[in-house]
Structures are given as C-alpha cells and as structure tokens.
Structure 1
C-alpha cells in the first residue's frame, strides 16, 4: 500500500471550528484541490470519515486499484483523512474507498465536497477548478435594492430540464444555451427574479433534483460549473436575481452518496425516528452533530459565494421543525421539554440564517414552510427563525379552492379569499403558485378553473391579477404564465406551441403586464409586508362576489384602488366608496382585448360624487367586466 504525500490545508484553528460546528467555509479545505507541492503539481484530497480504518483514493489515474493512494489520518481526532497525489489534475475522476472499523465494511463513495460530478447515471467525482471571470460587479454592488423587502419581488420558477428542449435532438438545453433563451425570456416577461429547482447534482431524474448527492457541484446534465456561472452572470447582466432551491432536509440512500458514509451513521441521525423520512424514503441529517451543521451551512454559503446566488429557497422546512412530521404516535420521541419541536434542527436553521445574512446581507432566504410555526420570517433576536420570507401556503390552497368553484357558488365562499388578509402580515409572505400545484393529478392551473374555454382563461387572468395586487412577493411556475393545459412533466418540454393561439398569448401578455405594473406602482410593493400597505373598501359583497381594496405606498398619490368581479356577470353602475374626492383613471384591466378579454367596458376618467358609500363620504359608479380585475389611481 502506498501512502499519499503528507500535506494539509487545515490549521489547528480550522479543526477547532469544524469540531465546534462553526466552520462555514469548509469547501475551501475539504474535497479535491489542485495545488503545487515541492514544485510538483497534483491534487490534495481531504475527506471526513472518523469510523474508517483506511481510506484510499481510487480513480482513472491508478486503474481504480485500492491502496495505490492511501490517505493519511490526522492525529488530532478530527476524523479527517488527507493527502497529496502528484500528477492528478483537472478532469481526473475518482472516489474514496473506505474501510470501516465497523465489521470491516468496505464502501466506495463519491466526494461530498466534489466541485463536479460525472453525468448521471455515472457516479464518480471529478477533480475540477475554474477561473471564471465574473462580470456582475455592478449587479452585486446594487442588488441590495433589488432584493429588499420594500422592492418588487416576482419570481419565475424553473426546472431547467423541462423548460425547453432542443427539439431536433430531443435533449436538454445547456447552461450556455439557457443563458441566451431563458435569460431573454425572463427579462421579456418582466420578472425580477428566477428560481431554479435544485441544480446541485442528483442521481435520479424523477426526484426533480430534490434528492441530492453532489451538494457542491452543479449538475453535469447541462454543462460545466463555469458554464452555470455564465448563466447566473447573464441573468445579472439583465438585472434579474437568481434564487436556488436548497435541500438541507434530507438526502437519498444511494450507495455512492452520504448514507452510511464511513460504515457508520455519519451524516444521517442513527435513530430512524429522526434519521429516516418515511414519505420520501430518504435519510435525514443529524442536526445535533456539530460537523454536520458546519457541512450544511458551508454549503449554503458556497452557492452564495462561489456562484453569486442572490438567495436560497429552503425546501421542506416544516419537515425539519417537527419531530412528529408525517409520523404516527409511537414513531417519534418528544424533545427534552416534552414537545414536538426538533430543537437541534431549529438551532441549525437559526445558525444558517445568522451566517448567511452576516456574510451576505443583500440576499434573501425563503422558507417553504406549510405550518403555523410562529415567526419563521422574523429576526432571531425577536424569537424568529431568521428567514427573509416564507411561502404563504394557506393563501395558495384557499385561493385555488375558491377559483375551482363554479361562480354561482362563490358567494358562499368569499371568505376563502378574504381570510388570508387576517394573517397576511404575521410573516413576510411570498404567494406561490409552484410546481407542486400542477403535478400528481392536480391538473394545470387553467384546468382547475370552471366553465368554457373563455371563462377558464378569464378566471386564470383574474387569479393572477388577484395574486399581483394581494400583499406579498410573487412566484409563478413555468408554463403557468401562458396557460399550459397539461400537468407538468419533467421529461418533456413545456407546450410552447400553444402560443400560436390567442387565448394563450393573451394570458402570457397579461403576466408580462402584471409584472410591469407591479414594478411600476410603488403601492404594490413598498409596504407589501405591512398592514399599512393594505386597506379594505368592501370585502362583504358576497351576493355579487365583488371585492374592493386599496394598496398603499409611501406617498398617498401612489395608492391603487383594486376592484375584482369574481363572476361572469357584467355589473353596470356598480358603486364603490373611495378615500377622497377626485378623478380616477384606469391603469389596468384584465378583461382587455389584448389579453383575450371581452373588452366590454372601457373607463376613461371617473369623477367622484359626494355620496356616502362603504362608510366613506365620496363614491363613484363603475362598470365591472366579467371575471375581471380593474385597478385605478387618482389623477
């Protein structure tokens, strides 16, 4: 057996931080790093395997022969194996062959810190380094304004493998191709941000990327790591922020992955009540172990640091917060206080958010959290978890349930729409119409709507108009913007051919214009997370299924009055109370001809009357088009 050359990138300070769970730049030390040692170029390897009695690097440079390059275990009890192999460089493929002290188990594992992985179904790691020349300094300098809570925040959620395919060869678009087509499309649609479903390396396509193996490597399906950086750079060039889905909640048990890594439960919790996710048949990180906290927080920082991500949408937060998540009685054990909260996971989340915002105060972390756990998006000093925003799952469920109802029944269910305003400002909410709502038999968004084709698309336009004028940030999944009529299929491209039909083109134009309206009107974003930014005019007209409200900005002159007619019945001479005397002008109408609406009513300037209505001294009459939203401002 041949030992590798003794060398270390770790200082004693690094080791102490790692053991304490406070080293948040572990990617600078672990993994494979191309260096020059004693005048000889090669690669330094470091892996954490405290239950191993021998670790070898096997790869295409030693014919995968175990023992040819055996790593050296550190003397300090850290469980780190390391060493330098001359002549190994960029592009060489490798794994770690690990002999465990437990029953002499032998495993062959991919590098948890690999910067690049082989294209699935191959499973080896690749020695890699790039010297990408970033060109987004201007964006980074100014992104605090673009990512602020008082700025417009509309997100286009994308699955890179199915957004669009190269038709002739039926293949994925590459990162480089997407840097042209996708970037231009998102910019044309006026979204402020794009969100990628997980792009970290994953072995199994049907997982959509939510079962990760290569936590530090962009998936090889679409190209090289520097090509992904180029894609991010191009978004920044267009003034668009990039959010990444991040999955610290669970990981798959694939043989080459993190599970039973060194013959012991190293990354996963050894107790199945905390270490195995029954729904997803996956393993759960051991959040109480310091080194695991350092691994995960380092990974969050890695994507913000090395790939210039502008935020992380953290997946399945609810499953991390509760010990009894998706478990029956007897399948979980209460915490030390007798409660159901997973205290170690909560501490990890707080530590993660603390470090992210300390290092990158101009980014956002967004929690996909479906319970009523308090203060998810409130500061840690105020007893919160420290996220910047939280998905408003209640709004999404109630709103889709309402819009699925035949209009004749909606008068009995208006509370489904108004209820969200009772709690809309308890968190910094993002309104999501995500991929989860268009899979597994739930139907496409437009196909949830009742009525004939015209009514279904009118309902779709009304739903989106309600979403964009409701307080909170916005998120829309790919295909929803043009009324895709089939459920999302990760294996095929979106149905772009539908845009040849006016009804689909109209829906797309509406979303484009709603994004423009959202960015243009300060009242729709300046106080989107504050009760000061919203005021009802009338939420009680159940009989006509009409709702009216005011969105407010910093200046009264920016206020926007919103009117929703939630049935297909046009209503002429419909009176609403308004805040003060004056003349209103129409700034948006979802029933316009260019959206494939009926275009039956057009409002020029509307003058107020001194006539009390809705508890206000001044009022005016409007003509309400069917299944439509109208927005007005004072002249």
Structure 2
C-alpha cells in the first residue's frame, strides 16, 4: 500500500514566494511514520510534468506501480516499509510523453560515480562535539582576526598506494592535524556537492544537497567538520550557484521544460563551460539555492561559503561574443535578477548566521561587493582580490632587468587595498593546466633565486592588507602543475631546499597569527603607511602595519632584487627600539644569512620624510620585518 500526502500549504506557499529557506526539510526523501507504518515520503517539485513516479532498487526500476500525486506543482508519495539505503530516482513523464529518469534534486546522498541514483539517507542522530568552537564565534570576529586559509582538493591532497582516495574519516585524522601544525586558521574545500566528473573538481554539480560519496558518507563528513572545529580550525566550502552541468540525470530540463534554468538559451546556457545557468528570476529557484546555502551551515556546521564565479552571475554577457550580446530592461549589461539573488542570499545568511564567512570569487570591477545590502552592496563580507594575484605573479615572472620598469604592477594593489574587504588568494587556478606551480613561475638563474623569490612574495602577501589563502602544495614548493588525478609531490620533502621552504612557510604562518599589526586593521587605512613609495625602480617595497594600539606596529621591508643593501637608512616616525622579528633570508630557510642586530635604536636623523631613522641591512630577494618598542620614559 502506498499513500500520497500533499505537502503543507504554508511550506509550498513560501517555496513559490522564493522565501522557503529550509525546503530540504519537506522536499526529497524522508523517513517517516504514517498510520503506524514506517516508510519513506518522497516529494519533488516538477510542476510541468504529466506524471511522476518513484522507481528504484525496490521495484526493479519500474515506477509504474508507484505513481506520485501532484498538488501545487509538488509531487508526493509515501511508500511504507522502505528503509534507509534505498536507491531511487524520479521517473518523469513529460507533456510530450517522453520519460526521464532524474536524480532527486534534494537527495542527501548519491551513488558513487558512475552510478547516479539517489540514496535514502537520514542526517539525524550525529552527536556534535563542537560547542566550544560555535560559542567562540562573534559577529565581527573574522574582520578583526587573522584569517589564513589552506585551500584543499580532497581527491588529490594525498592518495593511497593503490591510487584510491583518503576517506573523510582518514582525513579527519591526518589533514586536520597537518593544517593545525602549520598555522592555518581555516580549511577551504573545493566543491563537495555530488558531481559526475572528477576532472570538474566539483564545479559542475548534479546533486546540491549530497556531499560527494567519493570520500564516504554524510555522517563521515560530519566527523571531519567536527574534528576541524574541535582543533580550532574553521571550514569553508566552495559553492557553485552560477551554473550546473547538463548531465541527463541532473537538473537540466528537469520536468521536460527549463525548470531550474532560464528558458531563453542565451541566458540559460554558458557556452564556455557547456553548462546551464540558474534562472534567478524564478522564486522557486531562489528557494532552492538559498535553502542549499543554509543547509550546509544548518546540517554540517560549515562556517562559510566561497561563492564561485560571481562575475558570471552579475552579467548577462559573461564570455559572450560581441554579436550575441543581450541587455536588461534598461539597456545595460547587468543581470539584475542575479544581483538581486546575491543580495538576498547574503541578507538571509547573515540574518541567521551573523558570523558566517561569505566570500565572493569575483573577477569583475563591480562596486560594493563587500558593502552591506542595506547600503546598496552585494552584502558579502569578503572578496577575492584576483587583480592582486594576477599582477603580483606577472611581476614575479619578470627578470631582474624587467622589474625596474614594472614595480607599479607589484604595488598598485596597495592603492586600492580598502575598496573591498579583500582576501589575497594564491589558489588552484594559478597552478593548473600548464600554468606552472607558484615556484615554477618565479624567475631566477637557479633554484636558490626561485625559492628566494617565492619567500619574498609570500612575505609581501603576509604584510599586505587583506586576509590570506594558499592552495595545497604551495607550502612546500610543489614543482609541477597541480594534477587533480594524483597526489601532491610529497616526495619533494626528501630534499633539503623543500624542507627549508616548508619550515619557512610554517614559521611565517605562525608569525602572522601572533602579530596583531598584520590583521587587526586590515580594512582600515589607518593601519597602513607607505615608506619611500616615490622610488618605483629599486625593487624595495616598504611600509608600516599597525595594530589598534598605536604603539604596536611593524616596519616591513621587501627586496625584490638580487642586490644586498648594506647600511641602508630607513626613515621611521618614532623614537625607540626596532627589533628584527622576521627575516626570510635566514640560513635555515635556505637564505644567504644577511640580517640585523637584535635591537636597533632610532636616531634623530631625518630620512624619507620622517624625523627619525634606523640603519639596516636588507638581504637579497628577501623580506625583513622590524617590531617597534617605545623608549622608556
């Protein structure tokens, strides 16, 4: 016996209003008890279907005896005696009498590829142990705190001897401790929603509510997040609301019509990626997407989302050829519905999770990405500074002779560092598809210069206003491009120069976390002061970073040339002692060993428009940082 049961009218009303933010609680498959019988209730939104049936492992994949009933566009059916672990799909009969087998858009678990069936799964019953982590979050914690992110692709961080994946449970033991020991504050995981193709890295999704089965079960993933939190590590997940893949079992033409995507193929398809674009003007799609964002926070305790490909959501003509351009109702290029979606997304997320991290991966110049929605912005609290990434890496590729004419490329990001709340990312896109690893991008006559260049680049990043992100492998000097089909080049750590570089990055990360001047006023111009900026050809980039306590500041000197500066006179604002507290040129890091005495007293000798100065040694291709201590009395 099967029973149909219409969903709650209030729930469906909110779905159609675009304000149903927990739609996963009644759509999808849920274990229930009806009239004393245990079973599974199935519910799916497919308003334009002629008929929808449930087919699965329990009926030989023939849904003719398990027909669903429709009310207000939502099809439902309760099937008694079915249990957790049941495999199923929806059999969609279209108005043209075509039959599609579709995975459940709200499934909590999905078969391991190449299988595509949804799996009935309960997310109840896990006992979280992260109360202390959740209690320590405050609404402004992250803007005024260190944020140092380790970006990870779980499928290629490490592999087993047979080439198999590490599981969520194994990674909870190994990866979490690795990140903790190296000083990172957060792990960012490349998309974890179920996807059919490993090579997409998770960016072309079929099941938005299913954590990928490649590494284990949903509750295994809960263990991973829980372990991160118990060790004081936050978890950020890449999230992909910009597009989805066209695989037949996914969302594309779900009920025989363009249901989740725009009906106009010019708006509904991304020609570059070969994917479908969500219809941001459809309330039910907004309910789906915003519910999904909250789902990862509600159910898996995710601390934030890095929203992928924001530029493609903001514009109607992303990667579109000139002759095929389309405009909005005002004749402009902006996707007004996409903009409204992002604003609504952030407003809702922050209303429920005021301390969430909402990060925009946005390569456009759209203004106000991190301005609040109330003030007309998109409402994110962070934006990736991709201009910083591209320009600094282009500079580091240049020879010593070329750098003299290109220093603006390195320092222009300091002029607009406060336009948004920026994150400075050296992420996966910079080290893949024959683009070379970060170490491989560094210019130099030999390995010594390449490693020294990478040390001074990282030091500059640590000193530069903005939060920080490094992709896995960059912490020990990966030599080759990142290959998602195999593990990182861990064997490199058998060589001294990679061991030294890893030691440098570890020291740098812990130094960053310990010094308030490097993060407390990241988004306040009063926390930064340039030194000697008028000379744009000497390879020296010098500035001061300040903490909220005005006497607590660091003087940062970065030398991007191979020349050593002996007895260089550096202008400072205050009398007192300046102590070298950071030097990327130390011998234990593979450097040449040029350094400074432990305490340097400021002299009353004007220099660089400052009333006092100190005399320092600046090592080649290196950064030195001095900490100020006021004079007693």
Cα separation, 1, equivalents of 2:190 and 2:324: 31
Conservation of the 8 A alpha-carbon contact between 2:493 and 2:499? yes
Which residue of 1 is the match for residue 68 of structure 2? 71
Q: Deviations over 1:490-537 (max 9, x none)?
A: 000001111121211122122212211111111111110121111101
Conservation of the 8 A alpha-carbon contact between 2:371 and 2:377? yes
1:539 is aligned, of 520, 523, 533, to 533
Conservation of the 8 A alpha-carbon contact between 1:408 and 1:567? no
Which residue of 1 is the match for residue 303 of structure 2? 310
Cα separation, 1, equivalents of 2:175 and 2:141: 21
Question: Is it true that 1:591 corresponds to 2:585 in the alignment?
Answer: yes
Which residue of 2 is the match for residue 350 of structure 1? 343
- Give 1:398 deviation, angstroms: 0.8
SS in 1 for 2:154: coil
Which residue of 2 is the match for residue 6 of structure 1? 4
Cα separation, 1, equivalents of 2:410 and 2:600: 27
Q: Deviations over 1:8-30 (max 9, x none)?
A: 4x322111111110100000010
Which residue of 2 is the match for residue 551 of structure 1? 545
Question: Is it true that 1:501 corresponds to 2:499 in the alignment?
Answer: no
Cα separation, 1, equivalents of 2:251 and 2:55: 17
Question: Is it true that 1:291 corresponds to 2:291 in the alignment?
Answer: no
Matches within 5 A, 1:2-81: 4-8=2-6, 10-74=7-71, 78-81=72-75
C-alpha spacing 1:577/1:536, structure 2 compared with 1 (3 Å): same
Number of residue pairs aligned between Structure 1 and Structure 2: 627
Conservation of the 8 A alpha-carbon contact between 2:151 and 2:427? yes
Cα separation, 2, equivalents of 1:259 and 1:472: 39
- Give 1:540 deviation, angstroms: 2.8
Conservation of the 8 A alpha-carbon contact between 1:145 and 1:151? no
- Give 1:170 deviation, angstroms: 1.7
Question: Is it true that 1:488 corresponds to 2:485 in the alignment?
Answer: no
Which residue of 2 is the match for residue 249 of structure 1? 242
Which residue of 2 is the match for residue 607 of structure 1? 601
SS in 2 for 1:67: helix
Conservation of the 8 A alpha-carbon contact between 1:147 and 1:363? no
The two structures have a TM-score, normalised by structure 1, of: 0.97
SS in 1 for 2:101: strand
Question: Is it true that 1:389 corresponds to 2:382 in the alignment?
Answer: yes
1:623 is aligned, of 617, 620, 627, to 617
Conservation of the 8 A alpha-carbon contact between 1:545 and 1:567? yes
Conservation of the 8 A alpha-carbon contact between 2:373 and 2:379? yes
1:476 is aligned, of 470, 475, 495, to 470
Moved more, 523-532 or 500-509: 500-509
SS in 1 for 2:611: strand
2:409 is aligned, of 397, 416, 424, to 416
The two structures have a TM-score, normalised by structure 2, of: 0.98
Which residue of 2 is the match for residue 154 of structure 1? 148
- Give 1:145 deviation, angstroms: 7.1
Cα separation, 1, equivalents of 2:226 and 2:164: 23
SS in 1 for 2:604: strand
Which residue of 2 is the match for residue 174 of structure 1? 167
Which residue of 2 is the match for residue 522 of structure 1? 516
Cα separation, 1, equivalents of 2:329 and 2:535: 50
Cα separation, 2, equivalents of 1:199 and 1:182: 16
Say what the alpha-carbon RMSD is for the aligned residues: 1.1
- Give 1:87 deviation, angstroms: 1.0
Matches within 5 A, 1:163-242: 163-167=157-161, 169-242=162-235
Cα separation, 2, equivalents of 1:36 and 1:67: 24
Cα separation, 1, equivalents of 2:389 and 2:141: 23
Which residue of 1 is the match for residue 116 of structure 2? 123
Q: Deviations over 1:37-83 (max 9, x none)?
A: 11100000000111111111000111111212111111xxx310001
Cα separation, 1, equivalents of 2:325 and 2:20: 31
Which sections of structure 2, spanning at least 5 residues, go unmatched?
none
Q: Deviations over 1:609-629 (max 9, x none)?
A: 111111011011111111000
Cα separation, 2, equivalents of 1:362 and 1:419: 31
Q: Deviations over 1:169-214 (max 9, x none)?
A: 2210000000011000000110000000001100001101000011
- Give 1:146 deviation, angstroms: 8.6
- Give 1:147 deviation, angstroms: 4.7
Cα separation, 2, equivalents of 1:387 and 1:478: 25
Cα separation, 2, equivalents of 1:427 and 1:399: 18
Which residue of 2 is the match for residue 112 of structure 1? 105
Conservation of the 8 A alpha-carbon contact between 1:147 and 1:153? no
SS in 2 for 1:173: coil
Conservation of the 8 A alpha-carbon contact between 1:146 and 1:152? no
1:269 is aligned, of 226, 240, 262, to 262
Cα separation, 1, equivalents of 2:495 and 2:461: 24
